[in-house]
């Protein structure tokens, strides 16, 4: 039950985080918004690559959520790999985000740790224990 609740909250935070990331430039001070706009225009090739990576990664994330809802251990491993890939994507360069976006991101990171802890160190993925 706790794992499923955490998965639902994680999915909600993921969607909210994406919306804030796309529409969040209005939350930045003018100087940072201008700097970010200048950086975004210079890296059009990176934006295309990031989009081409994001589409399959989001599909795999949905598969991992669905798999953990159905008590599949492989889904926990997939989720772990996706979280590690997400951490590595943060290394692509400087990232400017609003305080709200940072709060959502950090909350999601903490929740991902809880999900991984429940998935690997409890009996949450054993269907007999969760009926």
Categorize the per-residue pLDDT at 110 as very low, low, confident or very high, splitting at 50, 70 and 90.
very high
Look at residue 64 in the predicted model and tell me its pLDDT.
97
Cβ neighbours for 24, distance < 8 A, ≥ 6 positions apart: 97, 98, 100, 101
| Whole-Å CA distances, 50 to 40, 55, 86, 118 | 12, 9, 11, 30
Q: Is the separation of the CB atoms in 16 and 101 below 8 Å?
A: no
Look at residue 29 in the predicted model and tell me its pLDDT.
82
Is the confidence at residue 113, as pLDDT, over 90? yes
Q: How many CB atoms lie within 10 A of CB 64?
A: 24
Is the confidence at residue 94, as pLDDT, over 60? yes
Higher pLDDT residue, 94 or 59?
Answer: 59
Higher pLDDT residue, 65 or 99?
Answer: 65
Categorize the per-residue pLDDT at 15 as very low, low, confident or very high, splitting at 50, 70 and 90.
very high
Higher pLDDT residue, 129 or 30?
Answer: 30
Please choose, from the candidates 18, 79, 20, 23, the residue with its C-alpha nearest in 3D space to the C-alpha of residue 54. 18
What value does the mean pLDDT of the chain take?
Answer: 86
- Break the chain into its structural domains and give their ranges: 2-123
Please choose, from the candidates 126, 16, 59, 52, the residue with its C-alpha nearest in 3D space to the C-alpha of residue 8. 16
Token pair belonging to 75: 């889904």
Higher pLDDT residue, 43 or 38?
Answer: 38
Higher pLDDT residue, 99 or 112?
Answer: 112
| Whole-Å CA distances, 84 to 80, 100, 124 | 6, 23, 22
């Amino acid at each position: 039950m706790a794992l499923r609740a955490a998965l639902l909250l994680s999915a909600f935070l993921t969607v909210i985080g994406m919306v804030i990331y796309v529409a969040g430039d209005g939350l930045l001070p003018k100087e940072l918004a201008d700097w970010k706009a200048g950086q975004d225009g210079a890296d059009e090739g990176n934006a295309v690559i990031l989009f081409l990576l994001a589409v399959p990664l989001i599909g795999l994330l949905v598969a991992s959520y669905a798999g953990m809802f159905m008590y599949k251990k492989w889904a926990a491993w997939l989720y772990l790999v996706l979280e590690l890939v997400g951490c590595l994507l943060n290394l692509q360069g400087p990232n400017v985000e609003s305080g709200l976006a940072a709060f959502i991101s950090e909350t999601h990171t903490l929740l991902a740790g809880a999900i991984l802890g429940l998935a690997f160190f409890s009996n949450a993925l054993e269907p007999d224990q969760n009926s």
